[in-house]
Structure 1
């Protein structure tokens, strides 16, 4: 390797990367294959025991509860990998749990409890490995080839969407023509293949060992900061954290009216938010008790978590394309005429637009859009991309809401009208999600990479929490009355509400981005360390 390559970080691509990318492609086919047919399957088959007007709402509730699980369990997977087993072993064994979940869906497609058990196991397996796969990719790079990490992260995200595209296109057909056992069984087979591909590369991977018990870990520094007392001064940070504890206990007390999932997720959000604010208020008190490096690391993590928190409105909009948008598509005209032929599009097949557009937009952005912006003097930094992406997601919901208003007025709408909002939302996704994977890894301190990636996915959990809260709110008679006075239907009102939510988040994100200082936390190669 030349000295120039070593210095600019453009060394050779790690030879083990193809194993990880192929694994991700098969795993994403399995996940999106079952996820994108989940809502229509629930409405048409598993929830037939419910009154017909209630099925769509219950299907959305089940779907977003499942999504919350998928993006909550990264906390567990990241903790297990960082503290006990390492990334490789954690990914492999949780992948087997993942396979068992798929088997449950295929076997118990007519059994409510058995099917929900399968969803739980998939949420545990998929969620548990989710932060580890992307951070495992980052572990294969060091300072000598870190310049190629962005290319690989984009390829990684491209492969996710390659698997998702074919799953979204084919699985609705298999569900319609061959039934749920086959439709849910095929994704299970792909997950098993993914596990075997990952296992076959085991001798080639760079395995960063779990961090040993650290007296200066994130949690210990935070605890010291909260509990430290100064003569003659109060502890406002501890009081702030106490507000979070009270709020969490109050949330659990609301289980009878909110349900366990909303109450538990709200409690977690309150603990993290108020605990984080309280720690920041008293963090300097940990200096002298812990090294400056450890204290500064905690400060860096707090700043990263603010970025993550500001992306939660985007996630609340994005994941509804597989619930709210499918429900809308079921009321649209499915017949399409093109190229001299006429055919029907199944509502769930519209999901294929998203990964198809991602596969187009990622290379288009890298080869055309970003170079053009640099020519005119605008550097498309990670935070600028993410702020713009959140705004585009809001724009997509303005369009989808306008479509709903026309449908509520009795105007027949072709399913092809959803193409424009899908394009806008997908452009936003590429700017937020693909960039977020790179941002989360590069900004995370060395000992916290798995957990930081888990917090990135926790932001997606909070996004689905907003959806559950809004859906629960519109069941209130007073809220329904206020919406009726606006002259809009409930669904259209929700769509415009989420659009406004995203625009407000984009403004807040852009403001915070001007105050965020980027850091470089890629691993130093052994060659450079010895030099």
Structure 2
């Protein structure tokens, strides 16, 4: 470790023990009064998270601004596309495309936004690194915001410019989102540089175990909290849309994104910035191909290798190790890379059930918005209802972080990732079941029954006489499902990905959201009256079935991950 590194750590953290540094992470350190954890400490002391570094707070603030922009522009989308412009007595609108077009374009935008992170991850890993990639794609994002704002002015809407402008803006903003989303999540966790568990004495004399796993869980909890604080921008933009017009509603998030890029740039001197290591996609493909060939050769020659611990054959991918090169292939990688890739592939398996979760989550920003537009909302815009979700998350994440999760730890019951994700999937299924029952009662209530808030024989129908307040529990359930499933998915993607693959694994997790949008396209024909009961019921049924399937397939991961984590630690003797 260089003297410059020691001086930097000393100046930021006070006195450290220079002779007790983590072997794989030489910038790891102990502050005065701290010591490395022993195996006994790991088994007896209460696990807590560490304080968040200032650099992480800068990245969190950047994500807040970006999500303020994203949700600020998408909040009015359903009305903007579905309804006609300036029709007295009806919800705001611009394009008059109907509910099916609105839901379809909304699903396309979500699909595009979560497909493009693959491109952002490759650019960051191969050429620019996370920091420069976020700045570059931030500029592209800003261009898309400007296009949307300018094409939503009254003259553009009246002359047919709103729809083509919206599509161009969606493509541009989605590209910008991809470059940011795949890199900002791993970058926020990289700002915490302490890897080895250590013991800290509290002011009351109690010793606690400060654990990186708990700290990373806390970082992603607060990262997601910032996302949802930013998501409240839809309250402002839907109010502006309802009381003024769409162009000022879109101008507000556009201005905020300029603040986003500025804030991120100002924190540049504080970030831990990792250099690009080269894209591993092509290399991973070669490793997978080699693993298949070597495994076949070993099987044909009856030379399969058995794990001495489990007494079972090793995974086929491990045959890509140069040390297991049965087929005599040319290999330009080492055993460690194969082991890292194997961990990444195993971790990515849990993402396979997420598209159904995102299908359910996506109902909140399209069909549930239209659902509230069929009920009595008083003077409140129908599309403001979706903001209940981020409001609940803002309230509940501190409760989960400071009360619920620590409470389970004190009882000796750790809610590990697969358990939390299973809970999230189950709650999402219940939310869709509630929405289906609610839609049934909407259709049973007059005066418009199965055709509220739509044109019938050229006549615009009004709302049914049922209060939108009873929709609130559905949004609360979706929020709880997000805390369990979405936050944990982000955390798991980061923790299980090797250092060289964090952006790629994170982008694969985000890609599951695009998968949810593809599923939503299949629902487009029933995403309109009078079929919405069927729409919500099928989504809820699928989520329930995949909840059971997920738990059956992955319930053993929690214990395996814990055993691997403890096995990687080095304790004082």
In the superposition, the TM-score normalised over structure 1's length comes to 0.80
* Structure 1 residues 115 and 470: alpha-carbon distance in aligned structure 2, compared to 1, 3 A threshold: closer
More helix by share: 1
* Structure 1 residues 171 and 448: alpha-carbon distance in aligned structure 2, compared to 1, 3 A threshold: same
* Structure 1 residues 373 and 490: alpha-carbon distance in aligned structure 2, compared to 1, 3 A threshold: same
Aligned to 1:179: 245
Does residue 118 (structure 1) correspond to residue 118 (structure 2)? The answer is no
Aligned to 2:34: 4
Aligned to 1:286: 320
Q: Is the Cα contact below 8 Å between 1:333 and 1:413 reproduced in 2?
A: yes
Bigger mean CA offset, 138-147 vs 348-357: 138-147
The gaps in structure 1 that reach 5 residues or longer are 235-279, 336-343, 481-487
Aligned to 1:452: 505
Where 2:34 maps in the other structure, the secondary structure is: helix
* Structure 1 residues 230 and 312: alpha-carbon distance in aligned structure 2, compared to 1, 3 A threshold: closer
Could you tell me how far apart the structure 1 residues matched to 2:515 and 2:433 are? 22
Q: Is the Cα contact below 8 Å between 1:81 and 1:87 reproduced in 2?
A: yes
Where 2:105 maps in the other structure, the secondary structure is: helix
Could you tell me how far apart the structure 1 residues matched to 2:35 and 2:150 are? 53
Alpha-carbon distance, 1:12 to partner: 5.6
Aligned pair partner of 2:436 in 360, 383, 401:
401
After superposition, residues 268-307 of structure 1 pair within 5 angstroms as 282-287=316-321, 288-289=324-325, 291-307=334-350
Aligned to 1:103: 146
After superposition, residues 397-476 of structure 1 pair within 5 angstroms as 397-411=432-446, 412-472=465-525, 474=526
Could you tell me how far apart the structure 1 residues matched to 2:295 and 2:411 are? 53
Aligned pair partner of 2:64 in 25, 43, 59:
25
In the superposition, the TM-score normalised over structure 2's length comes to 0.74
Could you tell me how far apart the structure 1 residues matched to 2:280 and 2:565 are? 19
Alpha-carbon distance, 1:45 to partner: 4.4
Aligned to 2:12: none
Could you tell me how far apart the structure 1 residues matched to 2:84 and 2:173 are? 20
Aligned pair partner of 1:496 in 522, 537, 543:
537
After superposition, residues 341-360 of structure 1 pair within 5 angstroms as 344-360=379-395
Aligned to 1:266: none
After superposition, residues 209-358 of structure 1 pair within 5 angstroms as 209-212=275-278, 217-226=283-292, 230=296, 282-287=316-321, 288-289=324-325, 291-335=334-378, 344-358=379-393
Aligned to 2:549: 508
Alpha-carbon distance, 1:310 to partner: 1.4
Question: Which portions of structure 1, spanning 4 or more consecutive aligned residues, are displaced by more than 6 angstroms?
Answer: 46-50, 213-216, 519-522
Could you tell me how far apart the structure 2 residues matched to 1:133 and 1:214 are? 19
Could you tell me how far apart the structure 2 residues matched to 1:460 and 1:409 are? 33
Alpha-carbon distance, 1:153 to partner: 1.8
Does residue 157 (structure 1) correspond to residue 196 (structure 2)? The answer is no
Bigger mean CA offset, 131-140 vs 13-22: 13-22
* Structure 1 residues 281 and 468: alpha-carbon distance in aligned structure 2, compared to 1, 3 A threshold: farther
Does residue 134 (structure 1) correspond to residue 173 (structure 2)? The answer is no
Where 1:26 maps in the other structure, the secondary structure is: helix
Could you tell me how far apart the structure 1 residues matched to 2:264 and 2:298 are? 58
Alpha-carbon distance, 1:11 to partner: 5.8
RMSD: 2.9
Q: Is the Cα contact below 8 Å between 1:70 and 1:124 reproduced in 2?
A: yes
* Structure 1 residues 5 and 396: alpha-carbon distance in aligned structure 2, compared to 1, 3 A threshold: farther
